[in-house]
Amino acid sequence: MPFGSVTLNDGNKMPAIAFGTGSVNKGKDVSQICRQAIESGFSHIDTAQAYGTEVTVGQAIQESGLPRSDLYITSKYASGEIQMSVRASLFQLKLQYLDLYLVHTPQFAPDIEAAWKQFERIKDDGLAKSIGVSNFNLEQLQTLVKSARILPSVNQISFNPYNYARKKDLLEYSAKHGIVTEAYSSLVPITRYPGGPVDAPVAAAAKRLGISATQVIMLWVKSKGAVIVTTSSSKAHLEEYMQVGDLPPLTDEEITAIDTAGANGPPSAIARHGKKVSRSTAAPAAVGAALLFLVYMFWLMPCHHIQAVAI
């Protein structure tokens, strides 16, 4: 069964899992992997002006043969006059409207109050059914909410067990105002930080449920009320992700164990190779080792060789 949907604060519904076309896909032809995602059950496709994927996402939408109402399309503003930019995105995608249009990052809209008025106009004009933001921290979101006539429906952020403790207040504030959190890069405990403290509680939950570690982390994201944004060029992985919609939830104890382990932070590069070096001491240790190496080279090598030693 599909993941289902969440209801946004403007009354519109958004699928609870999205296929992302950023990350390693930036600037590439994503038509084939988008079609594959749609065939695997994804109805929500996430693109952006900055990704350079809008044209080929549009191609995949056309080639899917599905009615427009069966797909949910998100894009994001990066640069240029906002009204022209959203129309350019629609032209690239060959669409009449977006389901969701986001400010990609606060850095792209330094005068957020003025920019948001343009976003509100986009919603008023029907060019996007819902509007929101991405990569906003708590202070930035609070500033926007104070001046907004239409509240943002979504804040799309990097979110995983290793940064949850730092972002808990942001999630709580968003929930208070009905702003849905979309989570990207949630699988970094597996893809970027294997061997970290989160591995043990994730493995225990995976064993109990007979599922993969990837699926456990996605269940953890769901437990926080967040919508998942993920990607893969592998159909098997996409099907694995979609199966999460059918899985029972994690227990409260499993969620707490992952939260607690994640609060320790990810392992350092040195720790991942078998040495228990804290993140705070890893950098000084590396500098010290480099200096010792240079001293060693100075005393043992002829002077004309020292010129080849790069710092």
Enclosing H/E stretch for 191 = helix 188-191
Binding-site sequence positions for substrate:
104
Looking at 51, 72, 162, 193, which residue is catalytic? 51
Rounded distance between C-alpha atoms, residue 48 and residue 88, angstroms: 11
Go through the chain and tell me how many residues it has. 311
Distance CA 153, CA 243 (A): 26
Cβ contact 57:35 at 8 Å: no
Q: Are 183 and 157 in contact (CB under 8 A)?
A: yes
- Cα dihedral angle (5, 97, 152, 25), rounded to 10 degrees? 70
Query: What is the C-alpha to C-alpha distance for residues 140 and 200, in angstroms, rounded to an integer?
Result: 35
**Distance separating alpha carbons of residues 101 and 86, to the nearest angstrom:** 8
As to burial, measured by CB atoms within 10 angstroms (0-12 exposed, 13-18 middle, 19+ buried), residue 114 is exposed
Token pair of 220 as six digits? 């953890």
Q: Select from 240, 246, 248, 244 the least CA-distant residue to 37.
A: 240
DSSP 8-state assignment for residue 41:
T
The whole-angstrom separation of Cα 98 and Cα 68 is 10
Q: Are 89 and 98 in contact (CB under 8 A)?
A: yes
Is residue 193 flagged as an active site residue?
no
Give the residue numbers of the binding site. 104
| Dist. CA 81–CA 190, nearest whole Å | 39
Residue 266 is given by DSSP the state P
Which amino acids are annotated catalytic? 51
